[in-house]
């Protein structure tokens, strides 16, 4: 009983004394404003847009290549099934 009493007192004192006070104010950064209004943000947006367009172009070419390969495989599979 004595051990439980001491344990309860210690736990309660830990929870009660664990209050944090802050003198600093919180601030946030509006990333949309920075990306759309600043010179660096605009240049980064242009670079990202160009890179996105080049990636889209690459994947369209890759898709056409894969579709052509798929057609060739289908053709050969149909040929060998008919034999």
78 is a domain residue = yes
> Would you say residue 55 lies in a domain?
yes
For residue 67, give its domain range: 32-83
pLDDT of residue 12: 79
Q: Yes or no: say if 34 and 41 are a contact pair by the CB < 8 Å rule.
A: yes
Residues 6+ apart with CB under 8 A from 41: 34, 35
Token duo for residue 36: 């759309």
Per-residue pLDDT of the chain (83 residues; tens, 9 = 90+): 688 888 888 877 777 755 666 677 778 888 888 888 999 989 999 999 999 999 999 999 999 999 999 999 998 888 888 77
41 touches 35 (CB < 8 A):
yes
- Count of domains in the chain? 1
How far apart are alpha carbons 49 and 67 in whole angstroms?
Answer: 27
Q: Cβ distance 45 to 35 under 8 Å?
A: yes
Residue 48 falls within a domain, yes or no? yes
Residue at 2 is within a domain: no
């Amino acid at each position: 009983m004595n051990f439980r009493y001491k344990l309860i007192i210690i736990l309660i004192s830990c929870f009660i004394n664990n209050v944090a006070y802050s003198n600093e104010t919180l601030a946030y950064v509006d990333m949309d404003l920075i990306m759309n209004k600043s010179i660096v943000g605009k240049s980064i947006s242009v670079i990202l847009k160009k890179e996105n367009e080049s990636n889209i172009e690459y994947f369209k070419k890759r898709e056409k290549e894969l579709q052509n390969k798929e057609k060739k495989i289908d053709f050969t599979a149909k040929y060998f099934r008919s034999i």
